[in-house]
Structure 1
Amino acid sequence: MRTIDMRTFVVLTRTRNFRRAAEELNTTQPAISSRLTAIERKYGSRLIERGSGVFRLTDAGELVLKGFEAALDELDQVSAKLSGSTLKRSSPLRLGAIDTVAATWMPDLIDALHARFPGVQIELTVDGTAPLLAGLMADRLDVAFAIQPLIDEGFRSFSSCMLQMIWAGSPRLIDPGHRYTPGDLARLPIISFAKASPPFLMLAPYFHDEKLLATNLTSCNSLYAIVNLLIDGFGVAALPAVSIRRELKSGQLCALNVSKPLPPMPVVASYQALTQQDTIRAMVETSRTVAGEFCARVEPGTAWVE
């Protein structure tokens, strides 16, 4: 099997579009179709169900994809070893992250990636979970660090870390010595992340379980803005403790003593697993290391690796 045919198959599977695959491989759509037909003829099986808006790997296609991924990965590693070169990347590394990651261990990850890929450009997109996963799906990102994984063909996910969630507010607004029940919290102004986001959706069962409803609620799509509103005494919010560790240490914010703790928030990395396996694998390995080192540095119980 020719290397170009294997690479064509994995690129087509990732992009799910003959035109985009042709553009990425600097060829034509008929050439992509011809290569796919040759592969299917060789294995005597239809590998991709396509047409009328449908693009789906068959069981045989899944098997062939895994084989091609492994083969291309090995070939890339052999080429790197024979040339004696370190990993290189001509195109930018496209990272996506939620606010919390951007405000905590993302700077360390960027430094580590620059050290591993000298001279590489890094494009960082900071957004909510849904837009990040959509960007990954549309091939605008290589890796996304979000609260939920992207579960789809051609993508893999792993847990980067878990973050302790706390209720926090300005000492001008809250009483650090009081033990707040869900009922107490429901009577306070609450600032949450954007509606329909995973952190926002977490609030509903927190109060509904107690047959309460937080009515004085303001949503915001920026962690930076939420923190500043808290410091100004605008309300209280449920946030990862590590994202406001400096404000807690300085006394600008206080953690509320609550009768009902919040569940931890996961940070999940999702990434494309079909092309440039050496580069993507290096990014993944580096992010695992950086997240682990960050968790070991911060206050115990505020961030951990499962």
Structure 2
Amino acid sequence: MNYKRLETFIRVAKLGNFRKAAELMHTTQPAISARISALESELGVKLFTREGGSSPIALTPKGKELLPYIEKILYQSEQLRRRAEVSTAYSGLLRLGVSETIVNTWLPAFLAKIHTDMPKLDVELTVDVTSSIAAGIKDHSIDLGLLMGPISEPNIVNLDLCTYTLSWVASPQLKLPRRLLYLEELAQWPIITYARNTKPYAEINQRFRSLEGPSARFFASASLAACRSLTIDAVGVATLPDILITKELAAGELHKIRSIWLPSALKFTASYSDDVFNPVAEKAAEIAVEIAELYKES
């Protein structure tokens, strides 16, 4: 039985749309239709109802009955490939979405491991905020996300990666007192922080907006490297992951500020959708867990 036809059946069944299945499998809609028709002819049953127009394609009762069996066939086929260590099982393209905290810590080690373990795999890298990466995972434009998770959806697999604490930091040029500081005192300076459509920004903004007195000014950026540089140059005070500022603290370019409140630590997950079988994303997520373990905070 043709493996590609079975895979096509699963993708159309999950997505309910020939066009989306064609985009995901990097082929044309007529090719998808031909594979489904050939599979129906081979099995001697109708698998989908095609009402036309904008209505989604639906499984027939026989299609629903056969779906778990075909899923099992594909799963067992993939396990056979893994057992035989067939490297072509991990070829093709991995569309990877990554939060910048990971980019600035262990992404190079992760990609090096990907190259070693899956040498025939191409990687398409997107660096973005978590909300955009999560949206890409849900609409299948991103295969695997290394992001601030988890994503609370029933069809999303979330593997724990690492948790990084945040600290308030500033340049010694600002000459802030070394005693415990109130947020009202920090608010005298621009607050350098994560991009506006992120969890850390929302938490920090809400906390400062609840204070009495003049409103705090926020210098928000999707680039943590930019946030770090602005802080070193004494533009304002910042909340940055400890793992990103060890060298700057040791060199005296930054120092930690003692404050009565700290934002929540950043928790990262390797997240991917399992409503369409994707062994490459599954394997890459396992590698991410392995590499992240080496970069945990002590």
Q: What TM-score comes out, normalization by structure 2 length?
A: 0.81
Cα RMSD over matched residues?
3.8
> What displacement does 1:143 show?
0.7
Match of 1:144 in 2: 145
CA distance in 1, matches of 2:214, 2:86: 59
- 2:292 counterpart residue number: 291
1:234-289: per-residue Cα shift (whole Å, max 9, x none)? 00111211122222222211111111222111112211324554322211111111
Measured in 2, the distance between the counterparts of 1:64 and 1:198 equals 42
- Number of equivalenced pairs: 294
Answer whether contact 1:22 1:32 (CA < 8 A) is retained.
no
Instruction: Determine the structure 2 residue equivalent to 1:181.
Output: 182
Is residue 279 of structure 2 the alignment partner of residue 278 of structure 1?
A: yes
For 1:100 and 1:120, the matched residues in 2 are separated by: 24
Residue 12 of structure 1, CA deviation? 2.5
Q: Is residue 33 of structure 2 the alignment partner of residue 30 of structure 1?
A: yes
Q: Equivalents in 1 of 2:52, 2:170: separation in Å?
A: 53
Query: How far has the Cα of 1:196 moved from its partner?
Result: 2.5
Task: Indicate whether 1:256 and 2:261 are aligned.
Answer: no
What's the CA shift string for 1:120-157, capped at 9, x where partnerless?
A: 33222111112222333343322111224444464322
Structure number with larger C-alpha Rg: 2
Aligned-pair CA distance for 1:218:
1.8
Partner secondary structure for residue 257 of structure 1: coil
How has the CA–CA distance of structure 1 residues 119 and 7 changed in structure 2, closer, same or farther, with 3 Å as cutoff?
Answer: closer
Q: Which residue of 2 aligns with 1:77?
A: 79
Matched, 1:112 2:147: no
CA distance in 2 between partners of 1:172 and 1:286 (Å): 42
- In the other structure, the counterpart of 1:304 is none
Contact 1:187 1:214 in 2 (8 A): no
Is the 8 Å Cα contact of residues 165 and 266 (structure 2) preserved in structure 1? yes
Cα 1:274/1:69, change in 2 over 3 Å: farther
1:239 match: secondary structure:
strand
In structure 1, what is the Cα distance between the partners aligned to 2:255 and 2:52?
55
Give unpaired runs (5+ residues) of structure 1: 301-306
User: Amino acid of the residue matched to residue 236 of structure 2?
Assistant: G
Contact 2:15 2:21 in 1 (8 A): yes
Q: Which residue in 2 is equivalent to 1:18? A: 18
Distance 1:179 1:63 in 2: 65
Q: Does 1:191 align with 2:192?
A: yes
* Cα-to-partner distance string for 1:185-230 (whole Å, 9 max, x where unaligned): 2222111222222221111332345556742222222111111111
Shift of 1:293: 1.6
User: Mind listing any 5+ residue stretches in structure 2 that lack a counterpart?
Assistant: none
The TM-score with structure 1 as length reference comes to 0.79
Letter in 2 for 1:170: S
Is 1:171 paired with 2:180? Answer: no
The residue number in structure 2 matching 1:217 is: 218
Shift of the 240–259 alpha-carbon distance from structure 1 to 2, 3 Å rule, reads same
Secondary structure of the corresponding residue to residue 90 of structure 2 = coil
Give distance in 2, aligned partners of 1:91 and 1:126.
20
SS at match of 1:121: strand
Deviation sequence 1:9-28 (CA, Å, 0-9, x none): 33235655312323527453
SS of alignment partner, residue 174 of structure 2: coil
Counterparts of 1:265 and 1:136, CA distance in 2: 20
Residues 164 and 263 of structure 1 are in contact (CA less than 8 Å); yes or no, is this contact kept in structure 2?
Answer: yes
Measure the CA separation in 1 of the matches of 2:118 and 2:261: 45
Report whether the alignment pairs 1:133 with 2:134.
Answer: yes
In the alignment, residue 182 of structure 1 is paired with which amino acid? Answer: L
